[in-house]
């Protein structure tokens, strides 16, 4: 509860400081920066998901191959 209240107070303080020092222009610039960052994060997420899928496929192939080789050795 204390962390929540501190976060709320800090958020309100930051909001008032932005309004005091720049108003709408500062908020617009800040928002554009966040939008650009968000787009970059989306691209990174897609790359990570793609790489994860490829790694999973490779691991499954290796595990299957090792199991197949192990059964041949036993026979």
Question: What pLDDT, in 10s, does the model give residues 36-72?
Answer: 888 889 999 999 988 988 888 888 888 887 777 777 7
Give the number of domains in the chain: 1
Q: What are phi and psi of 52, to 5 degrees?
A: -60, -45
Whether pTM > 0.75 for this model: the answer is no
Which residues span the domain enclosing 52? 2-74
Check if the beta carbon of residue 18 is closer than 8 Å to that of residue 11. Answer: no
């Amino acid at each position: 509860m204390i962390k929540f209240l501190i976060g709320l107070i800090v958020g309100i303080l930051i909001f008032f400081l932005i309004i005091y020092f720049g108003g709408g222009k500062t908020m617009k610039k800040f928002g554009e920066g966040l939008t650009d960052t968000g787009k970059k994060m989306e691209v990174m997420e897609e790359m990570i998901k793609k790489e994860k899928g490829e790694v999973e496929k490779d691991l499954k192939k290796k595990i299957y191959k090792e199991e197949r080789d192990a059964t041949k050795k036993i026979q």
